[in-house]
Amino acid sequence: MYLRHLKLSNFKNIEEREFDFSQINCFVGNNGVGKTNILDAIYYLSFCKSFFNHNDNYSIRNGSDFFAIHGDYSINGVEEKISCSLKAQGKKQIKHSSKAYTKHSEHIGKIPAVMIAPTSHSLITGASEARRKFIDIIISQQDKVYLQSLIRYNKAIEQRNKLLKNYQIFHSFDEIGMLIWEEQIAILGNEIKEKRKQFFEKIQQPLNNFYSFISENKENIAIEYITYEGDLLNILKENREKDKIVGYTTKGVHKDDLAFYLKGMPIRSHASQGQQKTFLLALKLAQFDYLQKNLGVKPILLLDDIFDKFDFERVSRILTLLEDRGFGQVFITDTHLERVEKIIGEGLKEKTKIFKL
């Protein structure tokens, strides 16, 4: 899979810009010139949303009333056009070969991508929501049934929460309605839980391999999947009274979490900054490996400002890994042209385009 051409209109701080790409693409310039925004535009074409902002209207350039992103791809030898556009306060539109999707979820997985950015550190230091989002983005790209189950589960949780809030306001309780939603939550929750468990069984060994390669040591790392134990339907029933008091559903896969370990100790509190950064990079590369094996195509790899966070030797090993394992198309941002040229070296020079912004 290959993004050949990108056109941006009124996207964030970019008024109008077009790019023709190579295998490795580096955007170099001072902070604030739009390097990260270009990567975010590419991310939009994969996930129908920004990596950084929840509100799409924030992606419209100041003074404009719309944004548009157009990408020309080569996928298994077939030319494909993907576009994403939004009018201010309007409805976002995603098109594949000029045909609009009725549901954005239909597009997820068609253009797989992996983003590594400074904000990725929230996987370690942030709330559990960031870690659940990480899981769901990976599995949803290669499993449409999982994505639909997740959408239906979240809607069922929303309906159960409405009944709990109604009880707080009106002091009346719809027990039949509650049971209907709880049965649906239990069925969908068990499906989601099982697929998440299967995912972690598959990703553990690649994660260890990537960490060892990048860090040049054999420190043991691990992920623990933290979820509910027992029958979810019974758990929901047992927690009804508590949930009535707080006004929301306190148990289920929407409360799942991950714990990361280095040599048996929590990474969050016992690993150095360098070890945490290496773990995150290894985790993202394991994500890439998982998607490639399950989709049969190499996802686009987006590396935002990561070279400023690692020493030169470690960065060189990352580039060696990309070259040796054939990681497909890569997009990189950095602030120093000399550093980029040194990192790329002679071996990758012919495959690389450098865009000075």
Q: What is the pLDDT of residue 28?
A: 95
Q: What is the pLDDT of residue 309?
A: 65
Q: Each residue of 244-281: pLDDT tens digit?
A: 999 999 999 999 999 999 999 999 999 888 888 889 98
The overall average pLDDT reported for the chain is: 91
* Residue whose C-alpha is closest to residue 328's, from 118, 114, 136: 114
CA distance 284 to 12: 26
* Residue whose C-alpha is closest to residue 136's, from 199, 182, 71, 84: 199
Q: Do 1 and 298 form a contact (C-beta atoms < 8 A)?
A: yes
Task: Return the minimum-mean-pLDDT range out of 37-41, 66-70, 167-171.
Answer: 167-171
List the structure tokens of 265.
């100790």
**CA distances to 167, 194, 227 from 240, in Å:** 11, 24, 19
Q: Each residue of 190-200: pLDDT tens digit?
A: 999 999 999 99
Mean local confidence (pLDDT), 159-171: 94
Q: Each residue of 61-89: pLDDT tens digit?
A: 999 999 999 999 998 889 999 999 999 98
Instruction: State yes or no: pLDDT of 217 exceeds 80.
Output: no
Domains observed in the chain: 1-112+297-357 (3.40.50.300), 123-294 (1.20.1050.90)
pLDDT range class, residue 307, cuts 50, 70, 90:
confident
pTM of the model: 0.89
Q: Each residue of 91-112: pLDDT tens digit?
A: 999 999 889 999 999 999 999 9
Q: What is the DSSP string of 139-205?
A: HHHH-HHHHHHHHHHHHHHHHHHHHHHHHHHH----HHHHHHHHHHHHHHHHHHHHHHHHHHHHHHH
Instruction: State yes or no: pLDDT of 325 exceeds 70.
Output: no
List the structure tokens of 90.
């309007």
